[in-house]
Amino acid sequence: MVTATSSSSVPVTVLTGYLGAGKTTLLNRILTHEHGLKVAVIVNEFGEVGIDNQLVIDTDEEIFEMNNGCICCTVRGDLIRIISNLMRRRNKFDHLVIETTGLADPAPVIQTFFVDEDMREQMQLDAVVTVVDAKHIWEHWDSSEAQEQIAFADVILLNKTDLVTPEQLDELEKRIRGMNAIAKVYRTRNSELEMDALLGVNAFDLNRALEIDPQFLSEDAHEHDESVYSVALVESGELDGEKLQQWMSKLLQTQGPDIFRMKGILNLAGEDHRFVFQGVHMLFEGTRDRLWKPEETRNNQLVFIGRNLDEAKLRQDFRSCLV
């Protein structure tokens, strides 16, 4: 399924993280920061979130304006419905931020932008941002929610760094990178991070995300102590589009639930444009991207993040799609 993203589409940031990690602090920061963007924010339950009431003008309806011109809304119902309502005020905002609840698996929210036809046309997933509580993450490290939030992330804030030692931080970052090799990891206090590292990062364009050192993953890639980990495949050559489609469909039918995220930049035979694709569980979409530059090495880079991934088999099957 190939979709073209138009420049008029709204970039969407999905904000996730365990309870108490610092999401609300980050949300308030986005809402009050002078970043020159008009941001619409969707929060799960306004009552719990504790957005500073001084920011809010009118909370009688689901969608309300903030003092600084941002728009805020609560998801009491269906995400798609509320986004449709928001899109009627399309001229009022440049960027949409969706905050998920601390116990939620972010996948259903992310999938919304793959599944719904209108969403695909009007929205573009900019990045999934996960806030991790550097001090307390170990207490729920083994919970599926905490692992999934890390696995789905494009940007990770290791927050509350002032409460742990540098050695503990290094250990945490190492384990997180083992689970998710493509996320940008930032160390923060009070969720303080430059807005250009959060909004408009275009993580879908893997140029920045895929600065992958395949060796980094393969050092101990075969002794995964985590249940969630990354597999990176980098292969030169051209891919047969039809074989790729067949392999991908079969792979997702058999292993979809175990594949949290996939991302790739591919070199398709007979095509001068890069082919970019990403997926969440059983859903994936591909986009014909910009032209390959003359100085670029045309190769294929593919990353899977999930559970029970057989790296050797993935590599073998991927190679069999080469022309």
Phi, psi torsion values for 175, nearest 5 degrees: -70, -35
Q: Residue 33: CB partners within 8 Å, gap ≥ 6?
A: 195
| Shared-domain flag, residues 39 and 151 | yes
Q: What is the mean pLDDT of the chain?
A: 79
Q: Residue 321: CB partners within 8 Å, gap ≥ 6?
A: 239, 240, 243, 244, 247
- As a whole number, mean pLDDT of residues 201-214 equals 54
| Shared-domain flag, residues 195 and 240 | no
Question: What is the pTM (predicted TM-score) of this model?
Answer: 0.76
Residue 186 included in any domain = yes
Residue 164: pLDDT over 90:
yes
Residue 251 included in any domain = yes
Residue 218 included in any domain = no
- As a whole number, mean pLDDT of residues 109-128 equals 82
Of 33-47, 88-102, 252-266, 272-286, which range is least confident? 33-47
Question: Which of 172, 204, 236 is the C-terminal boundary of a domain?
Answer: 204
| Shared-domain flag, residues 42 and 162 | yes
| Shared-domain flag, residues 95 and 176 | yes
Residue 209: pLDDT over 60:
no
Residue 104: pLDDT over 90:
no
Residue 21: domain span: 10-204
Question: Which of 144, 171, 204 is the C-terminal boundary of a domain?
Answer: 204
**What CATH number is given to the structural domain containing 73?**
3.40.50.300
| Shared-domain flag, residues 91 and 162 | yes
Question: Which of 163, 189, 204 is the C-terminal boundary of a domain?
Answer: 204
Q: Dig out the tokens for 72 from the structure.
A: 């805020």
Span 278-289, pLDDT tens digits: 888 888 888 888
| Shared-domain flag, residues 173 and 285 | no
Residue 110 included in any domain = yes
Of 11-15, 80-84, 300-304, which range is least confident? 80-84
Start-to-end Cα distance in the chain: 21
Rounded CA-CA distance 111/65 in Å is 27
Q: Dig out the tokens for 275 from the structure.
A: 């082919």
271: number of Cβ within 10 Å = 16
